[in-house]
Amino acid sequence: MTPIFEVALVRDMEGANYDTGATTATVVSDAAATPAVLRDSFCVSDLDVPNQQVRRPKHGKRSPGAQGSSASLSSLRSVLKQASRQYAPLRASPITGFRQPSISSPAARLYCSSNKPPNSSAASFQSTDCSLPSTQRTHAMDHQEVIKYLQQSHDRIFENNKKWAEQKQKSDPEYFARLASGQTPEYLWIGCSDSRIPAEQITGLEPGETFVHRNIANLVVNTDLNVMSVINYAVRHLGVKHIVVCGHYGCGGVKAAMTPKDLGLLNPWLRNIRDVYRLHEDELDAIPDENKRYDRLVELNVLEQCRNIIKTAAVQQSFAKNEFPVVHGWVFNFHDGLLKDLKIDFEEMLHKIQKIYNLTE
C-alpha cells in the first residue's frame, strides 16, 4: 500500500530535513504544534498553511484522528519550501540589544527607528536601534524591515570603528604608529568563545598586550592544531611571560558536558570536559548542590587545561631556559565582573608530570 504521510512544519527549523518521497500525503492540523516551532533565537512569520505537524510515514490505514484531505506531492513541497524561506533564522545581535521573541508568541515583528511600535517613546528608539519588544505580540516581520535591521547592525560597526580611531588619534597621536611597529604581548590568553568575556576589556589591557585564543569552554587539546600553533607561536616567537587559561562560571560548554546525551558534532569536543568529570568524579559527586557542582567543574576544567599546557614541549623548554612562561588558571564571574585566581602551583604541577611528560631533552 502507498505510504501515507502526515506532514507539517518541522519543530526545529535548524538543519531540518524533509522527507518528500511519497506519492501522496495527508496534511493535518495541530494547533499545539505552533509554539514548539519557535526557538529563542528565531523570529518567525506566518505561513499560508499554519499550525502543522510533521510525522514519519506510516504504511496501511490512516492513523486515528487524522483529518484533512490528501495533497499532491507538489503542494507538499510548496508548503515546505515556503516554510524553509519564512523560518530563516535571525540571530540575536549583542551590538543592538536585539531581544529574543517569547516562545509562547506565535510571531514577532522587528521594529526599527522608522517603524516605531505604538505606545513607545521616541527616545527609546535610536537611529541604529532594532529590537524586538518582549511584551508585545505582533504580526510577521516584513522582509524590508529585516534587510534594514541587518544593514543597520552592519553599519554600526564601521561607525563605531571610525569614532574609536578618531578618539585614539586625538588622545594619542603615536598610538597607531606603535601598533604598526609590531607586537610584544606579555600574556597569552586562552579563553572561552562566550561573547561576554573580551580579554582586553575585563583585564584593562590595550591592544598589543595580550595574544588571544578562544574556543568553546577554553579547552587545550593536544590534537587541536589551532591551539597548539597559538601556544607554540606565543612562547617561541613572541616570548610571552604568562599563559592564562580563563574559564567562566555559567559556561554553556561545561553545562552541556554534564548532560548525558548525544549532542552530535559537539560530542568529540565536549568529551574532553566529560573526561575532566571522570577524573574528578568522586569530588564532584560529593557536592550535593547541582549549581556548586557545576561551578566546581568549571574550575577543574580550567586546572586540567593548565596541566595540558604544561605538557607541551614549547612551554617546558622555554621555562627550563628562561624561567617563563608561567601558567595561570582564572575564572570570570558575571555577577560581579571579577576574576578569581585558582592559584595553581605551576612548578609543582610541572614537577609532577616530568616522569612521563618531560619534553625538555
pLDDT of amino acid 333: 98
248 in catalytic set: yes
Please tell me which residue in 43, 130, 194, 214 is annotated as part of the active site.
194
pLDDT of amino acid 33: 38
pLDDT of amino acid 94: 41
pLDDT of amino acid 142: 85
pLDDT of amino acid 78: 63
Amino acid at 106: P
CA pair distance 188, 219, nearest whole angstrom: 14
Amino acid at 120: S
What secondary structure does DSSP assign to 234-246, as a single string?
HHHTS--SEEEEE
Is residue 246 marked as binding? no
pLDDT of amino acid 29: 37
196 in catalytic set: yes
Please tell me which residue in 43, 192, 246, 306 is annotated as part of the active site.
192
251 in catalytic set: yes
What contacts 262, CB < 8 A, 6 or more positions away?
none
Q: Which of 95, 232, 103, 245 is nearest to 156 (CA)?
A: 95
Is residue 306 marked as binding? no
CA pair distance 57, 185, nearest whole angstrom: 60
Amino acid at 286: A
Mean pLDDT by 10 residues, the chain (361 residues): 37 38 37 36 36 43 46 55 51 42 39 42 40 49 88 97 97 96 97 97 96 98 98 98 99 94 94 97 97 98 98 97 97 98 94 90 79
Go through the domains of the chain in sequence order and give each one's CATH number: 4-86 (no CATH), 93-181 (no CATH), 183-357 (3.40.1050.10)
Is residue 59 marked as binding? no
pLDDT of amino acid 340: 98
Please tell me which residue in 196, 271, 278, 351 is annotated as part of the active site.
196
pLDDT of amino acid 79: 52
> pLDDT digit string (tens) for 94-106?
434 444 444 333 3
Is residue 192 marked as binding? yes
Answer whether 89's CB lies under 8 Å from 16's CB: no
345 in catalytic set: no
